[in-house]
């Protein structure tokens, strides 16, 4: 029963995150800049999470020494959201979300480069597969089908999110309550986007009532709900299976792009998306694959001795 609950929460997490384009693209079509959209997104998400914590009588107290790390995490989370939304100007939302989904590969690379964590042959195979998948999305024959600047921008969103995950896992705040952590990260993101919007065109007024609804849903569904169900999924089925179910993120975004916004979808893009999903799955299952192969080798060896 707990496993079924965990699988349900994992699917909800990935599907809700994949719905970001559904609420974002109509706002961009109304002329809203992504700085303003993201300011409202994180402001509403902060208020929603704060209200939830208040109802559950959870403590808002943090230690002073945790503040620098929370600010750093806020910068990483802000960068991830900013680059992903910026990427929507260069390519379809489904393709952008798929490129963003390469973040587990960048987590592995960061752990290898910064913390000297050894990478196995399965990891390097996954990285090669991911590169092939990105090339399938980006190339049409020998010509670029996607703007290379857009590809770099969206991959930067994956790097920023990978940096966020790595920093959480390698710092004291990993033991902090998930809602409290998200609450303070969202506060930092709200302030940063307010500053960024202020240096450009300023925070835009909301165009109409429907835009307010989209912003509220953007703040609640792929931000607050996805964060809560993520914690619940990890609690019930662990991080590995939850991460595998995350493959529903790009699938959902692609479906939204094609069915709702009439974005083109080719067989080549399909191959690229499948390669990236396969690569990420390999990264997540690296240890399981290695253990299974080692077990098989141990069983086979005596027979040929």
The pLDDT tens digits for 184-220 are 999 999 999 999 998 888 999 999 999 999 999 999 9
What do you get for the CA distance between the two ends of the chain, in Å? 45
pLDDT at 47 (0 to 100): 95
| CA angle 130–133–134, rounded 5-degree value | 90
* CB-based burial label for 85 (10 Å; 0-12, 13-18, 19+): buried
8 A C-beta contact, residue 276 and residue 130: yes
This prediction's pTM: 0.85
Tokens linked to 17: 């995150």
Asked if the model's pLDDT at residue 289 lies above 80, the reply is yes
The pLDDT tens digits for 240-286 are 667 777 778 888 888 888 889 888 888 888 888 888 888 888 877 87
Asked if the model's pLDDT at residue 221 lies above 50, the reply is yes
pLDDT band for 136, please (50, 70, 90 cuts).
confident
Asked if the model's pLDDT at residue 27 lies above 90, the reply is yes
Domain coordinates of the chain in residue numbers?
2-304
Rounded Cα distance between 268 and 270, Å, is 5
- Annotate 122-139 with three-state secondary structure: HHHHHHHHHHHHHHHHHE
Rounded Cα distance between 54 and 5, Å, is 26
- The three-state secondary structure class of 63 is coil
Rounded Cα distance between 68 and 202, Å, is 27
Rounded Cα distance between 93 and 97, Å, is 6
The pLDDT tens digits for 54-73 are 999 999 999 999 999 999 99
What is the phi/psi pair of residue 140, to 5°? -125, 100
Cα-to-chain-centroid distance, residue 40: 19
Tokens linked to 126: 């996954």
User: Could you give the percent of the chain with pLDDT greater than 70?
Assistant: 94
124-128 long-range contacts, Cβ below 8 Å, gap at least 24? 125/282, 126/279, 126/280, 126/282, 126/283, 126/286, 127/279
């Amino acid at each position: 029963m707990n496993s079924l609950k965990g699988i349900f929460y994992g699917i909800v997490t990935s599907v809700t995150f994949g719905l970001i384009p559904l609420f974002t693209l109509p706002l961009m079509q109304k002329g809203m800049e992504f700085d303003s959209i993201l300011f409202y997104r994180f402001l509403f998400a902060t208020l929603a999470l704060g209200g939830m914590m208040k109802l559950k009588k959870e403590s808002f107290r943090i230690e002073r020494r945790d503040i620098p790390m929370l600010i750093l995490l806020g910068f990483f989370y802000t960068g991830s959201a900013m680059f992903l939304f910026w990427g929507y100007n260069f390519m379809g939302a489904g393709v952008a979300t798929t490129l963003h989904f390469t973040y587990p590969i960048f987590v592995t690379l960061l752990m290898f480069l910064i913390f000297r964590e050894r990478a196995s042959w399965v990891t390097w195979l996954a990285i090669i597969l991911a590169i092939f998948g990105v090339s399938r999305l980006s190339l049409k024959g020998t010509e670029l089908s996607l703007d290379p600047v857009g590809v770099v921008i969206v991959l930067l969103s994956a790097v920023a999110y990978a940096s966020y995950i790595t920093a959480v896992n390698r710092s004291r705040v990993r033991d902090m309550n998930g809602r409290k952590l998200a609450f303070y990260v969202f506060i930092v993101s709200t302030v940063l986007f307010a500053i960024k919007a202020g240096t450009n065109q300023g925070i835009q007024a909301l165009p109409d009532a429907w835009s307010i609804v989209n912003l509220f849903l953007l703040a609640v569904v792929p931000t607050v709900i996805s964060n809560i169900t993520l914690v619940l999924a990890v609690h019930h089925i662990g991080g590995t299976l939850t991460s595998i179910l995350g493959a529903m993120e790009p699938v959902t975004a692609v479906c939204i792009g094609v069915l709702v916004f009439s974005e083109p979808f080719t067989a080549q893009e399909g191959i690229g998306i499948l390669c990236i999903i396969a690569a990420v799955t390999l990264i997540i299952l690296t240890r399981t694959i290695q253990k299974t192969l080692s077990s098989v080798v141990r069983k086979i060896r005596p027979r040929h001795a």
